[in-house]
Structure 1
Amino acid sequence: MIIKPTSSLRTELGEITKICKEKAEPVYLTKNGEGELVIMSIAAYEHREAMLDLRTKLLEAEKQRLNGAPSYTSDEVREYIRSLHNDQV
């Protein structure tokens, strides 16, 4: 975890940007020793958002499964995909 005071934004913005991009992790900024802001690269942010979206979808699928929604084995799905391909040929 990288922690810096908010005052470092004025003097170390280039270094903070480089850390965010190269390490792909956020930099935590503090003010008077208390957490104030988090800075991260756009790539890291988009990756985080994609992971959260995937997690939401997986939780919803698990909820549906627990509520009795039909489920399929990988073999059943594979066969279904093959049948779709064969129908198009």
Structure 2
Amino acid sequence: MHLADHVKPISYLKSEAAQIVKDLADSGEPLIITQNGEAKLVVQDVRSYEATQQTLALLKLLALGQKQIDQGDHVDGEDFFSELDELDRQQKIR
């Protein structure tokens, strides 16, 4: 499918809403809606939207982790596992 197939004028959205819903659910591809020849919005099915949101959330976590590493705000892996082992030993004593 070509990019042009994913770009439609707002009049198409108004007249073909039911078909758009079916097509988006089947393909998972977003539809770009134009008004006066200018892209104004993107329409996508809920499943694709939720997947995009989950991907963005993971990317934010990765960026936060990288920022913490860059700032030296982290614990060496061996130290971390040593701390976990110590906590485990303390739990077993109780």
- With the length of structure 2 as denominator, give the TM-score of the two structures: 0.71
Q: Does 1:70 align with 2:75?
A: yes
More helix by share: 2
Give per-residue Cα distances to partners, 1:13-38, cap 9 Å, x unaligned: 12211221112121000111111221
CA RMSD in angstroms, aligned pairs only: 2.5
Q: Indicate the residue corresponding to 1:51 in structure 2.
A: 55
Q: Which has the larger radius of gyration?
A: 2
CA contact (8 A) 1:65 1:71 kept: no
Q: How far apart are the structure 2 equivalents of 1:25 and 1:12?
A: 16
Contiguous gaps of at least 5 residues in structure 2 = none
Q: Indicate the residue corresponding to 1:23 in structure 2.
A: 27
Structure 1 segments (4+ residues) deviating >3 Å: none
Q: Does 1:35 align with 2:23?
A: no
CA 1:72–1:25: 2 relative to 1, 3 Å: farther
Q: How far apart are the structure 2 equivalents of 1:71 and 1:39?
A: 44
Give per-residue Cα distances to partners, 1:22-68, cap 9 Å, x unaligned: 12121000111111221111111111111111000000011111222
Amino acid at match of 1:7: S
Q: How far apart are the structure 1 equivalents of 2:77 and 2:66?
A: 13
Aligned-pair identity (%): 29
